[in-house]
């Protein structure tokens, strides 16, 4: 019983999905007026059912990823211990699990949140589970750049769970995760390139070589540092966020430059590990900044404009 639970839990990619839900929740908070105004907590239904619905949809997408990738997962050292390659769960069980999670997610979002949030969440689920996993991943070395759109969507999903007002700010959050994805993934792909070569998956380090991939990581990291300035330039975030983004970005740049001539083979995995802390910290800075600067409430909900949850 406990073993079965842990196998199903593993299907949901719990740590990846935890960070995804974290960015969605930050999206909800940033869409909500800051302290000092009548309500600084997102509407409770968006917070509770929105987070739960987005979590279940991402977990369902992750389970479908396991299902469609079982043949290649069996060929790769990093993934060969997963429930399908080891035979501890059957394809039927995984499919059923994914359908249940996805259906409950849609039900919660449609009934308790709103149709737009449900629609965009469903599009993200399909984007990752079918478009990326079933097609792009095997088709082009730009797979994770294009497929990254699904993983970048959660702050937008969180935002529209609360309101469509100033949705352009949510698009800035989307852009940050979208540009973050290539350095995040390619660092790991460099270290795991033999896995991908064995499974014949056209990841950039396999098709274009390690050095080219390192330069691409540096290119996207520079772009990322520039893109993270946008929330401040657009007036969504203040100098507290700006300071945090600059420090975090400087460290990321240091890692990306060092990766051009790495001290060891394992250094790429340090860059990968940092990318995760980076995103978590950047979004934490966005939230604290939003709370520290009540003046910004004007940015999220300008005077005279009613705070309107989408229904
Ligand atoms: C197309 C986009 C993405 C690709 C290809 C990708 C790829 C990967 C891979 C291959 C791993 C290693 C997983 C493992 O060994 O089990 C990983 C780990 C991770 N990813 Fe991503 N990722 C993407 C987007 C995201 C997004 C959007 C987030 C969160 C906002 C995220 C957060 C994480 C976290 C937290 C881990 C560490 C998981 C752990 O330690 O168990 N990733 N990613
Ligand atoms: C509804 C919604 C918000 C969906 C979110 C989509 C989602 C779960 C994105 C995560 C991205 C991810 C872990 C990609 C790795 O897949 P991979 O197949 O390249 O990695 P693997 O080899 O570890 O399976």
Residue 297 pLDDT greater than 70, yes or no: no
| pLDDT value for 35 | 58
Task: Select from 25, 145, 184, 269 the residue to mutate for testing ligand 1; criterion: most ligand atoms less than 8 Å from CB.
Answer: 184
Judge whether residue 163 has pLDDT over 80: yes
Which of 65, 150, 178, 206 for mutating ligand 2's site (highest number of atoms within 8 Å of CB)? 65
Tokens (6 digits) for 49:
């059912």
| 3-state SS assignment for residue 37 | strand
For the CA of 66, the nearest atom of ligand 2: 24
pLDDT tens column, 35-91: 555 457 888 999 999 999 999 999 999 999 999 999 999 999 999 999 999 999 999
Mean pLDDT of the chain: 93
Q: Which residues are near ligand 2 (CB < 6 Å)?
A: 13, 16-17, 20, 54, 57-58, 61-62, 65, 69, 79, 121, 124-125, 128, 133, 150-151, 153-154
DSSP state of 33: P
For a pocket test of ligand 1, which of 13, 16, 146 has the largest count of ligand atoms closer than 8 A to its C-beta? Answer: 16
Q: Which fold has domain 1-165?
A: Tetracycline Repressor; domain 2 (1.10.357)
Separation CA 155–CA 177 (nearest Å): 9
Distance CA 146, CA 55 (A): 22
CA of 44 to the centre of ligand 1 (A): 29
Q: Are 138 and 69 in contact (CB under 8 A)?
A: no
Q: In this structure, how many other beta carbons lie within 10 angstroms of the beta carbon of residue 182?
A: 24
Q: How do residues 247-286 score in pLDDT, each as one tens digit?
A: 999 999 999 999 999 999 999 999 999 999 999 999 999 9
Distance (Å, whole) CA 120 – CA 116? 6
pLDDT at 302 over 50: no
Whether residue 10 contacts residue 97, with contact meaning beta carbons closer than 8 Å, is answered with no
The DSSP line for 53-66 is HHHHHHHHHHHHHH
Phi and psi at 134, nearest 5°, equal -75, -25
Domain boundaries defined on the chain:
1-165, 167-293
Three-state helix/strand/coil letters over 249-299: HHHHHHHHHHCCCCCCCCHHHHHHHHHHHHHHHHHHHHHHHHHHCHHHHHH
155 in Cβ contact with 26 (< 8 Å): yes
């Amino acid at each position: 019983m406990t073993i079965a639970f842990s196998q199903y839990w593993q299907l949901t990619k719990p740590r990846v999905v935890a960070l995804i839900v974290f960015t969605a929740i930050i999206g909800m908070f940033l869409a909500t007026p800051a302290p000092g105004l009548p309500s600084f907590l997102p509407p409770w239904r968006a917070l509770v059912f929105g987070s739960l619905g987005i979590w279940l949809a991402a977990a369902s997408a992750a389970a479908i990823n396991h299902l469609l990738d079982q043949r290649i997962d069996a060929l790769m050292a990093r993934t060969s211990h997963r429930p399908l390659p080891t035979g501890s769960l059957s394809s039927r069980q995984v499919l059923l699990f994914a359908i249940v999670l996805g259906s409950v997610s849609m039900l919660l979002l449609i009934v308790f949140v709103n149709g737009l949030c449900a629609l965009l969440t469903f599009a993200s689920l399909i984007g990752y589970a079918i478009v990326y996993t079933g097609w792009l991943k095997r088709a082009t070395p730009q797979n994770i750049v294009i497929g990254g759109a699904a993983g970048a969507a959660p702050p937008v999903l969180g935002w529209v769970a609360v309101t469509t007002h100033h949705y352009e700010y949510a698009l800035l959050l989307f852009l940050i995760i979208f540009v973050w994805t290539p350095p995040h993934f390619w660092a790991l792909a460099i270290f795991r390139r033999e896995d991908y070569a064995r499974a014949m998956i056209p990841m950039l380090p396999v098709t274009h070589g390690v050095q080219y991939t390192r330069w691409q990581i540096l290119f996207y990291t520079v772009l990322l540092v520039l893109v993270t300035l946008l929330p401040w330039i657009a007036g969504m975030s203040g100098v507290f966020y700006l300071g945090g983004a600059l420090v975090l970005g400087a460290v990321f740049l240091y890692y990306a430059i060092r990766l051009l001539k790495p001290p060891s083979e394992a250094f790429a995995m340090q860059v990968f590990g940092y990318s995760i802390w980076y995103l978590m910290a950047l979004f934490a800075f966005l939230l604290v900044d939003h709370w520290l600067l009540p003046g910004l409430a004007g940015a999220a909900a300008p005077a005279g404009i009613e705070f309107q949850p989408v229904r």
